[in-house]
Structure 1
């Protein structure tokens, strides 16, 4: 009986360690200027397809930016970085994070992280147009993000 318990414990430990080793660390730059086709006030990359356990770090590559969640997957908490400060969090649930830069939302500074399956697609479909309506410039960026959801 003890041998079976030991084998089970060791097996679970190996599986957990294996999951941690495979977690990816993503970096998102907050930029005043991207490439010519991207234009100004962007997150780079603007769309990420990640997995539960991956970490996201927002880097204030240029000053005057922060990132704030607008929609998060069920079971995740809303988040907001401080202005001009690096911010890291771990993805803890499947679904889509839709986020923006509060000072530059009207300029179209939005981004999206899909974690595994798009379990909160209905909420994204409902709320994305509301956020898009606040974008005076580059509202097509929201359309481009939505088109990348799998």
Structure 2
């Protein structure tokens, strides 16, 4: 579930408890990235995933008490090399991995596949949102991505 930084001012502890019966895998970025330090002081029984709060390895250490998962997007990290280094360091710190994307063609999504093959959650749906993808694009069927 992606909150897109929109849950400021809500009673998050109560909300997290209300959401428990719905078997939600994780909640992505509930608070704005410049105001997410509150997450370290409240119970969150559903794992939280950092998205806008994370760009490169520099941010990892401050996120440890706030999030259990990070969303790696090649567009944010600066490319595949940094994404792979980010994944390695994040795993060493105990984070689970999500691989996400910005709007883009299958070419951009294919670049993320080396990280996606090891991620717990993969959200490489950028081409689905386009009017037209490349001719030999990825195929999406029943929640699965096919080459």
Give the structure-1-normalised TM-score: 0.33
Higher fraction of strand:
1
The structure having more radius of gyration, on CA atoms, is 1
Relative contact order: is structure 1 or structure 2 higher (C-alpha 8 Å, sep ≥ 6)? 1
Higher fraction of helix:
2
